[in-house]
Amino acid sequence: MSNWQYIVLLGAVVVVFGLLLPRRKQPAAAQAVNNMEVSLEQFMENMEQDNRELTALIVQSQEEARAKAQRSEERLAELERKYSAMEQLFEQQKASAVPVQAAQVMPVKVDVPLTPVPAALQEEPEELEEPAPPVKQSIQERYADLFALHQQGKSIEAIAKKMNMNKGEVQLILQLAKQEEGARV
């Protein structure tokens, strides 16, 4: 055989081998695509089942809400009927009641045996002292220590730490004092 025959023969082997090689890889890729399609179909079936269950749950909730609303309306109507009946009964009793006048009332004599009153109860009760009305203190009088620290030039943070208060509380007290002073003027 000559060289050109060897080259042609080698080329034919490569072509045959090339044709066979992609066929082997193609089934693996086709298998992967097939697996993906099966997975997507299962996912879609699961989604459809979940949607059906969710729809059934929503329908059930709506039916329960309608039934509850209907029961409430029936109960309200029943209460309104009872109220109207009670109102009519009250008006009838009010109209049929005979007004009692002072001349018609007869005195009733009641015999009650008298018992001696203990000496402790015979004493006249001591007059109770009325508590004095609370004296309104100004905010500066109530928080004198706070204002003393403020007048010394202490910061709000330092005052809050010293007085064991929040910074916002200290600021509020200072602002209220300013408003109180403005109200006096």
Q: pLDDT digit string (tens) for 103-161?
A: 455 555 555 555 555 555 555 555 556 666 666 778 888 899 999 999 999 999 999 99
Per-domain residue ranges of the chain: 138-184
Please give the residue that has the higher pLDDT: either 160 or 22.
Answer: 160
Please name which of 150, 157, 158, 154 lies closest in space to residue 178, comparing C-alpha atoms: 150
pTM of the complete model beyond 0.75: no
Structure tokens at 134: 């609370």
- Name the average pLDDT for the chain: 81
Which DSSP string do the residues of 78-123 spell out, in sequence order? HHHHHHHHHHHHHHHHHHHSPPP-GGGPPP--------PPPHHHHS
Interatomic CA distance for residues 9 and 120, integer angstroms: 142
User: Would you state the pLDDT for residue 126?
Assistant: 58
User: Would you state the pLDDT for residue 9?
Assistant: 86
User: Would you state the pLDDT for residue 168?
Assistant: 93
Residue whose token pair is 């003393």: 148
Structure tokens at 152: 């010394």
Residue 85 near residue 93 (C-beta atoms within 8 A): no
